[in-house]
Structure 1
Amino acid sequence: MSDIKIVAASIVNFLKQQLDSDALSADSRESVEVGVQCIETAFELTPDELSRGVDLLKLVRQGTGAAAPADRAEAERLKNEGNELMKAERYREALDKYTRAIEIDPQNPVYFCNRAASHFKLGDNLTAVADCTAALALQPNYGKAHGRLGIALTALERHAEARAAFARAAQLEPDNESYRQNLQAAEERLAARGGRSQLDLGGLLQNPALLNMATEMLSDPNMQNLISGLMTTTTQPAQGTTGMNALLEAGQALAQHMQSANPDLVERLRSQMRPPGPGGNQPPPSQ
């Protein structure tokens, strides 16, 4: 059986699935029935060949990671059970429920964010950070995920990153008092340490906001042209100061792009690189 016939048979099977459902109007059903007959006739499909077609809907869902409605309902049920277990302080069981929900519907950021809370309660702060980061990769403006990321980072004593996370959470949900309190506490802890913590390059590279901005920059045609030109300049012998000037111009263009794309993030990065200033003893941030 040729690949073309497999494709034709798969389309016919998909259309027949729609005819078996209640999703089509009477007029649409008639059009689809005609389409089925036309495809079967044009490609001379036999019943055996039709049985060898693939399930296109299932294939698309697997490719996009989208769960079927029934699966989404099951995942939501597991999430709700996990929430009740969290209230009962049965954190290990809650974690299992959230994990099963993620396995069914891995595109829902809420499940990752909730599982991060259970990891935190079990003392696994690094995995809590990973789950918050996964949630933010799916939904960058998820305030609760930023807030929980800040809590986990605080437990790991990565206070500069925690401050950035709380700042973003407070920006997204300005009425949430706990985010503002945690942000203030993080700033006080940093002040007590001399205004900043040691620059954590590993943490910066895992920062979801920085990763998102980098992705946007790399997809910008202007940035692609700039980087391409920079690569050409650096691989060819420079005449006088031409090579250095090109590097400086490229750096200025990148900095301007970053400032324009996310000024808040740029300011937070700058704050981590400033010289330490005077500070007194302050209480640790609340969690």
Structure 2
Amino acid sequence: MSSVKRLVYAVIHFLREQSQMDTFTPDEQESLEVAIQCLETVFKITLEDTHLASSQHLIEMFTNSIQKNDMLPLSHSLPEGVVKADQLKDEGNNHMKEENYGAAVDCYTRAIELDPNNAVYYCNRAAAQSKLNNFREAIKDCESAIAIDPKYSKAYGRMGLALTSVNKYEEAVTSYQKALDLDPENDSYKSNLKIAEQKLRDVSSPTGTGLSFDMASLINNPAFISMAASLMQNPQIQQLMSGMMSNAIGGPAAGVGGLSDLSSLIHAGQQFAQQIQQQNPELIEQLRNHIRSRYLSGSTEEHS
């Protein structure tokens, strides 16, 4: 208690000096006097207790302490691994700005290895994984971030994006709702929640066969857009499209009821599918898996 009283004595002495300066108005000086009286009453000391006085003035003690702390490098106050991890996080953020997402994932991964209890590193890596279309890895990272910090709204928001991208709309809605509970004014969470809710309504509507296909998701898929643009530059595809347009304008062949055109259309479709398979077999596999999962969902609930 003696050290506390010595500190309070130094504060009272400092306030007394300030109250006697002309830089303060009478009202401000009165406020200082009230503060002094409160401290004296609570700690039961007065300026007459000179045995509590320090050899250094309060300002001098404060200045010396600040200068001493400023001379210490950051590594003296934080473990070396934590400092390096934060540097790697900054490097990863720079890679994200440069759209070098693979390098960003590498930086965040190394940061996690050095400081595995930092939710930000997992959440940042989730953002990079989503940019690389590694949505399931992004979901895992968001779950890790939330396990560390259950009130991390950004982790819920990014998990909602990843869940939407793998057509888990109900879980995405739950994630966005949690994100909004933690950050009610975030417009991005609000708009993304509406999108996920609409997609959930679309897939929940009766389809008869249960084999409905989310064409909007396909068209908005970056891989599909890139592949389609590449295919349209292919001379063979351009020739196919030109032939189909010519047939459409010329009308069905006389006397065969359009069977010639239909045969040409089927043949063109087969060639187009072959081109897609050659250009992006991974996308074809994704489409097949999507249809299988939609077919099985009517009888078997998926568990993860």
Quick check: TM above 0.5? no
Q: TM-score, normalised by structure 1?
A: 0.44
Structure number with larger C-alpha Rg: 2
Q: TM-score, normalised by structure 2?
A: 0.41
